[in-house]
A = this chain, B = another copy of it.
């Protein structure tokens, strides 16, 4: 096994036996394939600059800048005062599952509470789905660009993520044939997002139906990430469940509901999967956070919903301001997002590689953005992601600084 030493950067251990010696890897193979996000280095460097007294404009953070809405926070405090600190049912308290079901009813989709699995964040939901759906060696089709962690959930279960390039021509979403062409005997299913991170675009409803049908014919599953649900102005559908009933849906209290640090999300799964998901959740998590679950009940009440809606409106306004400003500076935004809080921006007119451009903007102009390389390999050197999770004044200041940077480059 000595040759492995050359190809695997993770630590190797020398093992001696009476007759032989050999090297064995200290860690699992997958850890060599997981690279840290550049955005983490960007965040660390931004913090340094702030400690030095600089004002940094933050376009890099994939988290709403608003605190959790006060009615939710108050419900969290009340839950603690009421002693809501013990384990709950593995799949969430029945009240919350019913409340989420009612939320879907309000969107015009009927979802039995039994099919709703409350999870420790959408992250926890992806751990469960990977455990449910992927055997070692199974391929999971994902998009490039896409949410960078998706690969790691597949790898956790021994699965193999397979990137399918998506382009601006099709609003950074796959066509059905893109997936079917990528399908192999090892493929087990696909994980798509609507809207996506980093592009904010939704999957066309007819394409969604076609993909679901084609995957089903191949014995495959379809996971649809809807964690930006609600942050869309005029969606062609409110949930993919309107179009395909037996989807695996991933959702979260982090984005529209503004509860990032509470770590709460949910899955909707087909009836047949409920028992297996329950067994997995019981073993892998015991239960989701109890105070977070009780707080989340308040997230659906009118007072909180009014706050969420107002914030969604603010995000849409910021999208316009930022997009207009960037276009005025010569950037290309090939596709305006349907929702979420990201613009995926082509910076090739700067003549720079996107990662170099990000570091230059941060180090010299104190503007933090995320380079395309965090989201995949496809044309990543031309793209950056701007998150408009900062107020309009900061957006305008950021645009001024970028203008200065472009003047210098010109």
A residues at B contact (CB < 8 Å) = 10-11, 13-16, 24, 26-31, 34-37, 40, 63, 67-68, 73, 76-77, 80-81, 83-88, 120-121, 123-124, 127, 130-138, 148-149, 152-153, 155-158, 216-219, 221, 258-263, 272-273, 275-276, 278-280, 282-292
Complex alpha-carbon distance, A366 and B21, angstroms = 60
Complex alpha-carbon distance, A217 and B157, angstroms = 28
Given A14-B219, A73-B83, A85-B261, 4 other A-B residues pairs in contact with their CB atoms under 8 A: A29-B135, A85-B260, A263-B287, A263-B290
Do A152 and B280 touch across chains, with their CB atoms under 8 A apart?
A: yes
CB contacts (< 8 Å) of A272 on chain B: these are 11, 26
CB contacts (< 8 Å) of A284 on chain B: these are 123, 127, 149, 152-153, 156
Given that A136-B136, A217-B15, A282-B36 are contacting pairs, would A86 and B73 also be in contact in the complex, using a CB cutoff of 8 Å? no
Do B30 and A261 touch across chains, with their CB atoms under 8 A apart?
A: no
Given that A85-B260, A263-B288 are contacting pairs, would A283 and B135 also be in contact in the complex, using a CB cutoff of 8 Å? no
Given that A34-B283, A259-B85 are contacting pairs, would A15 and B218 also be in contact in the complex, using a CB cutoff of 8 Å? yes
Do B28 and A87 touch across chains, with their CB atoms under 8 A apart?
A: no
Do B280 and A15 touch across chains, with their CB atoms under 8 A apart?
A: no
Given that A120-B263, A289-B262 are contacting pairs, would A80 and B77 also be in contact in the complex, using a CB cutoff of 8 Å? yes
Do B85 and A67 touch across chains, with their CB atoms under 8 A apart?
A: yes
Given that A29-B135, A73-B81, A85-B262 are contacting pairs, would A152 and B219 also be in contact in the complex, using a CB cutoff of 8 Å? no
Do B28 and A261 touch across chains, with their CB atoms under 8 A apart?
A: no
Nearest chain B CB to A201 CB, angstrom units: 23
Q: Which of B136, B155, B279 interacts with A35 by CB under 8 Å?
A: B279
Do A289 and B289 touch across chains, with their CB atoms under 8 A apart?
A: yes
CB contacts (< 8 Å) of A28 on chain B: these are 131-135, 138, 157
Do B261 and A84 touch across chains, with their CB atoms under 8 A apart?
A: yes
